[in-house]
């Protein structure tokens, strides 16, 4: 009918979710994501030279922070935010006021499913976060809350309610998220397999979290999503997201929160230089043989009922046990405390709080 305007449907969680993007370049890639991102608020964390002007396509609602802004807002506590490393993205988590965060890298494009349809990665992450996780007993049809699936025969009815999902970890087509040695021996390998599945990562199981296609419930787990000290002035890089993932998973297991991995896929467009990566990673590759057993054996006391208290306790264990591995971990443990202090300053929880699944959650 003439004169009738088309109204775009309201995206899921439009007013409850921020998209966080770390970058050093113009964000032309957003044009591809416009149908999915345009109605959301973006938080852009500019790394590198703060005098460089980052161009953002017209029509997007965003705020942009560079290193000068981080120093101004956090003061001396800005020392906990990495420089010249994508770990700086976690500053966006801290300044957000929304319940949910989706973070993506600027070399991640819209992927297509096997039918050739564009994948709305954000929509799938939201579905993952809004449905429960099942970390205590594995369901062989994977996520029982997806359409067309359910709990299989033999699954305990007492566990079918599930627990709140804190983190949704997405995957990548094209360039896999490999470490430098694997990149060097498989320079032409590309991931072409689309696996139509979402899984809850079982309790007690760690995983290598990748930050380039990731969503989480900021109210449930935000203070644990610290990407550590990486990049400029640090002896290690490219372990920022994995460090956050290991800390987060220990805390989620303790607090009764779930983590999902699988869908959605994005198209990872370019491989980083494996020789540069090796220089960043080589100490981490060596250290991780001690880091993984540390996190596998880490336990938190029962009186740690908030994410912050869990994270402070974990920082003490990092200092006591990993500090013997290298002095870097003494500095990292202190930065973990600084991060929590800065988080609480920008996100005072005194107004009111609610309890979800026995976990005290700031509102």
Whole-number pLDDT of residue 363: 46
Gap between the terminal Cα atoms of the chain: 45
99 vs 186: CA distance, rounded Å: 40
Number of Cβ atoms within 10 Å of the Cβ of 284: 18
Tokens standing for 39?
Answer: 């109605």
pLDDT in tens, 187-238: 999 999 999 999 999 999 999 999 999 999 999 999 999 999 999 999 999 9
For 47, 98, 212, 363, the CA distances from 350, given in Å and listed in that order, are 32, 17, 32, 9
CATH number for the domain including 169?
A: 3.90.550
Is 2 inside a domain boundary?
no
Helix axes 274-297, 240-255, angle to 10 degrees: 20
Q: How many domains does the chain have?
A: 1
Paired with 191 in beta bridges are 174
Is 6 inside a domain boundary?
no
Using CA atoms in the order 152, 129, 219, 303, what is the torsion angle rounded to 10 degrees? 20
DSSP 9-78: PPPTTTTTEEEEEEESS--TTHHHHHHHHTTSEEEEEE-S-TTSPPP--TT-EEEEE-HHHHHHHHGGGG
Is 10 inside a domain boundary?
no
Whole-number pLDDT of residue 349: 79
DSSP 258-304: EEEEEEEEEEE--PPPHHHHHHHHHHHHHHHHHHHHHHHH----TT-
Q: E strands, 140-220, where?
A: 165-174, 198-200, 213-217
pLDDT in tens, 264-301: 999 999 989 999 999 999 999 999 999 999 999 999 99
19 vs 272: CA distance, rounded Å: 23
**Residue written as tokens 């009111």?**
352
210 vs 245: CA distance, rounded Å: 8
135 vs 221: CA distance, rounded Å: 16
346 vs 340: CA distance, rounded Å: 10
Is 5 inside a domain boundary?
no
Paired with 167 in beta bridges are 216, 259
**Residue written as tokens 């970890």?**
169
Domain that holds residue 272: 17-346
18 vs 153: CA distance, rounded Å: 39
Tokens standing for 3?
Answer: 């004169």
Is 360 inside a domain boundary?
no
Is 228 inside a domain boundary?
yes
Number of Cβ atoms within 10 Å of the Cβ of 132: 18
For 89, 162, 211, 330, the CA distances from 20, given in Å and listed in that order, are 7, 28, 11, 29
Q: What is the pTM of this model?
A: 0.94
Is 317 inside a domain boundary?
yes
Paired with 356 in beta bridges are 359
Sign of the alpha-carbon torsion through 22, 28, 29, 34: positive
Is 226 inside a domain boundary?
yes
Q: What is the pLDDT along the chain (363 residues), one digit of tens a residue?
A: 444 445 666 679 999 999 999 999 999 999 999 999 999 999 999 999 999 999 999 999 999 999 999 999 999 999 999 999 999 999 999 999 999 999 999 999 999 999 999 999 999 999 999 999 999 999 999 999 999 999 999 999 999 999 999 999 999 999 999 999 999 999 999 999 999 999 999 999 999 999 999 999 999 999 999 999 999 999 999 999 999 999 999 999 999 999 999 999 999 999 899 999 999 999 999 999 999 999 999 999 999 999 999 999 999 999 999 999 999 999 999 999 999 999 999 999 754 344 445 555 554
């Amino acid at each position: 009918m003439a004169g009738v305007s088309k109204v775009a449907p309201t995206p899921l969680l439009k007013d409850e979710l921020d998209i966080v993007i770390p970058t050093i370049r113009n964000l032309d890639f957003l044009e591809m994501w416009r149908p999915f991102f345009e109605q959301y608020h973006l938080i852009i964390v500019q790394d590198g030279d703060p005098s460089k002007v980052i161009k953002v396509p017209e029509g997007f609602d965003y705020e942009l922070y560079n290193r000068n802004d981080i120093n101004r807002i956090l003061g001396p506590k800005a020392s906990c935010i990495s420089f010249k490393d994508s770990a700086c993205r976690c500053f966006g988590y801290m300044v957000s006021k929304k319940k949910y965060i989706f973070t993506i890298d600027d070399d991640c494009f819209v992927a297509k499913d096997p039918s050739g349809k564009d994948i709305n990665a954000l929509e799938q992450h939201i579905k993952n976060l809004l449905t429960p996780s099942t970390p205590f007993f594995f369901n062989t049809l994977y996520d029982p809350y997806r359409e067309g699936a359910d709990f299989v025969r033999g699954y305990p009815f007492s566990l079918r309610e599930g627990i709140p999902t804190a983190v949704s970890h997405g995957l990548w087509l094209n360039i896999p998220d490999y470490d430098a040695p694997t990149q060097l021996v498989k320079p032409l390998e590309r991931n072409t397999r689309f696996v139509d599945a979402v899984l809850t990562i079982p309790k007690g199981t760690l995983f290598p979290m990748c930050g380039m296609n990731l969503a989480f419930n900021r109210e449930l787990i935000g203070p644990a999503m610290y990407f550590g000290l990486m990049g400029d002035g640090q002896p290690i890089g490219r372990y920022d997201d994995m460090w956050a993932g290991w800390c987060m998973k220990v805390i989620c297991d303790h607090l009764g929160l779930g983590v999902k991995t699988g869908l959605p896929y994005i198209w990872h467009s370019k491989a980083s230089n494996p020789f540069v990566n090796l220089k960043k990673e080589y100490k981490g590759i060596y250290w991780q043989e001690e880091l993984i057993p540390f996190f596998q054996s880490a336990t938190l006391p029962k009186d740690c009922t908030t994410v912050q208290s869990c994270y402070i306790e974990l920082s003490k264990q990092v200092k006591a046990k990993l500090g013997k591995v290298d002095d870097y971990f003494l500095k990292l443990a202190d930065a973990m405390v600084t991060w929590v202090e800065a988080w609480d300053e920008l996100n005072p929880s005194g107004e009111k709080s609610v309890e979800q699944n026995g976990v005290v959650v700031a509102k």
